[in-house]
Amino acid sequence: MSDSTGSAHKIKQAHEDVVDFEEILPVHRVFSESKLLDASVEVIDLTEDAFVHEFKCFLNTLDDRRQDVDARRAGTKAKGKNAKRTLCVPGLFLPNVRIHQDSFICELFRMKFINTMVYGTLTAETIKDNVTIYQLDDGTAQIDVYYRPSNNKMLEYLNKLSYCEETLRNKPSPLNEESVPACAELRSHLMLLISLAKAQCQKHLGPLKLRTKCFAVGRPFIGFGGKMCVSARLMLPDTEIGNSCELFWKSYLLSVYEPLLEKVNTG
């Protein structure tokens, strides 16, 4: 009986001598940022004269501050109503554009606008951080156009067009829920329109080639070195044969800016 008791004591003592490594591992408790407390808190006694005076001035001017904010908001809305959505601007006048930082509205010759449209030939390109920087030459100046193509919308259009094309090719269901026309000639016309639309989508999805003329629509901003650039949200290549589109563009610019320049010269 004593032997069994001694062996049990040895087993218990050996078990106690075993080191539990999980117990000695360092433990770091991580709290969320919302539960973190500042190491020190500064307590301000508002009964002191200096703080009481400052606090009273803040309370007295609180209504004026709120009215000032409301006035700025109302002014921004008023400016936005009078501003054009897009203004065609030649590269020569782009450095004269003023940007109102409080309202994100631009101004040129007292014409307020949100986006600008430029047109010219792509002469160079640089890719930086998934953004393509094109150099667009419109004959009056060289414009840096920053463009990050977003293909999601065009891919959605292509999928819808492919679905319509497949629906026209297949026989309509017995109930004709797809409203497929019964006339074969009308179906062929629809197929032609779908193919033209798909070709246009493919052009937008493909990269823009240098030495091609294109339109760029976007917001002007001040780039490196104080140069006025354009952050384009849309770039469309000129697919017209010949110079008809360029002639129309320059004629339109003349009709807009020639009267303004005459007023400046006579004034």
CATH class entry, domain 85-151+204-266: mainly beta
**Residue-wise DSSP of 178-202:** T---S-HHHHHHHHHHHHHHHHHHH
Residues 178-232 pLDDT 10s: 677 777 788 788 888 888 888 877 777 777 888 989 999 999 998 888 889 999 9
Max distance between CA atoms of the chain, in angstroms, equals 125
Whether the pTM exceeds 0.75: the reply is: no
Q: How far is CA 81 from the centre of its chain?
A: 22
Model confidence over 122-162: pLDDT tens digits? 999 888 888 889 999 988 889 999 988 776 677 788 888 88
Distance CA 228, CA 225 (A): 9
Tokens of residue 255, six digits: 């009709």
- Kindly indicate the confidence band of residue 46, based on its pLDDT and cuts at 50, 70 and 90: low
Q: Where are the domains of the chain?
A: 85-151+204-266, 154-199
